[in-house]
Structure 1
């Protein structure tokens, strides 16, 4: 994406251009602003933008002097000037300096857009193969991909245009969400990666070209620095928004359960199918409900209800929003495996109760009471079942650690939803399921190494089909290879 900067000593101009112009629709990012010529020059040196928009009259150094300095360091930078002084000498100097446009104040939104379009066009005309052209195209692709992840099928046509001819070869899409920008998924021969950012979310869309393989997961399997979550792979590109929501949900759970490493949406279990209408705040409420964090839950719920009471939507739609959240809360209660009929109540259906309440404040208070009641019930079930369920799970893992033992299988054995079981296990053991299973396998491997069993046989005995993978995990856990551990005689 192209970078632009704006320099003007009038605060209202800077803020207006920041807020009123959709820079991304032109494939441009507004990277910074400055209010005087000297600060502007320093900012230019730091950011090296592609487009400079500057007022002429500024303290410290006027706009035309600034452009002269910029031209000395970066002659390809495209410049636009605006001024309240339409004097011939200024115009002549600006033309001599090669500015792409000269705008008279007061400037309008349409004038600015025209100026940006001229600047982008000038950049594009220089060379079809120039790096700036490629960055411009990448910026448009990033925007089209972000729209695809947010709006799905409604944004597919524009995405296909920006993705190019390869769009016809795409046979699936998977979204990866990171806790920060540290993880970068490399491209491979069978897939293409487009990285985008949406606020605090770091998203990578993996477009599978041809048959969907497993090579794209290699970097994810080895990653252990920060939390990363992935959605399911969807054959229909129009379902990219679904995979995005799944990836963000997997990231949320992964940050709590693992702290670092890769969490797949599929590992959360069938009870967590995506709910397109859920907002981030609603997702946070349900997450805290499952986690049993009542303080955080009630704070988020109060924020949600404050917004609800101020809303202007139709009363029937407002009622549906509250019922939707309540039904998801009931679903979270059922995941515990407890007798959810204890909280269903013997009264009339919730939709009838809600409809009888005449004000939004009354409806909000009713929902708060209902969800708090569900939260208290879930916490009670957790306390009653936590120890016995985890003990049963540990015994099962002790018997079956040597094969492909998924979290879903263990959760089914203790008759719990997989996502709820994962939270319960972490709470009881202080480790996530996968970390505990890895630790168990490595302890068994140590014993077998001390007994002299060959490494390949140990690898298979403790659940790893490839000795190389086993050796990598063993070294990460113990700080030495299996051979080094054996030779030191550790544990004897």
Structure 2
């Protein structure tokens, strides 16, 4: 139902139009009327009608002045003017302002109804087109995120020059230029997630991931990227006076959405220090990444900062002063289960920093450190059913001759990286089985209009976020892209080899709406289904 608003200074004409038309029968809701533009304007701003019918000659504020304001403030509102024969010069001006139609006085009911039908069809078609575009954007968003992730990786690793960053951002339709930047990193996973196995599907986690992702759509100052399977990044933009507030608001909104999930979801947030140059973003990212990696040592601290690191250090020093010089094996296990190779250096630095330089430099601690990490690695690999035979090779066995912190550090780095490598190999085996299952399910069910990333994730029992990440990584295209290409290829075959109606073909390849099918077909192939069929027959 479309909202219509009438502006007419003649009471008899206004009441006649209002009373003599069965508005709802023609798809309209009569939202209100006014006797001149001045009275109408505040009402129009509040109601925001889909269709405005207005006279041209009126006291106080005439129709032309009203049209100019409405066209500027409500560009989607359609405008039809009412005019007499002696108003023709005004009508010409109105047409230049973009009105849709004009009706001559006296108003004949049949002409008014004819206009309403035409306007309803036009607005309905535009609404459909807008829905198609929004649907296509949602389906394409996964691919865009995949491209954005690659772009972001190049930015934070210094792989692109500033001109290359600007050019790539332009191609990806990302507005990246700003006076100041900051990086917010946050990890989001199920509380029981272990990197050795795919993350299982849970309604709660899927809802949180979807809720957090949606937040960024309406905030152009926040550019959202996925960093890896469980970690996301946000590039915060703004002038120097706003960058701190923009960063704080971003963190607060992520926190509020994650906290709603309770203990079922594990989440941590960290940010860097604002920088004024695109070329300085890698430094900002490194800082945020270093702080976020403390989540393995501060499992109860969800929003991590330099202050929380200082607090952890002070607590560690207090324990040392009290005679407790042990490394918590649970911290090592947690890192081995979900940490990444890129985080390993930071993790080791954190342990040594918390122990303190004086004690960490003792030979007895160096040997203890190597033993603690070795046995934690063996125990972890055993817990995930992975053979730890390779850790008994000479380069991975603890060496009693280790006596300096540098020697201990090099050894621990080797063992942790090897353990993560073995964990990831175990995970990849399972990922490939899952992908085969997912692709098989899509191939068998692509004609089902209800198929989606979420439904496929449920079928293979992993989180949509995890499935999306591994599908893009292993297949080289997103799940939605794969599904769409599958559908369009089948549609091409049917167009070439059958005489079925377009509506029948649309239904057979998974589209309930034949117009949306045509919209997607043209987006993918560059021509309409009818044009493709005609070209194939020639």
TM superposition score category, shorter chain reference: 0.3 to 0.5
Name which one, 1 or 2, has greater alpha-carbon Rg: 2
Normalised by the length of structure 1, the TM-score is 0.34
**Higher RCO (Cα < 8 Å, 6 or more apart):** 2
Normalised by the length of structure 2, the TM-score is 0.32
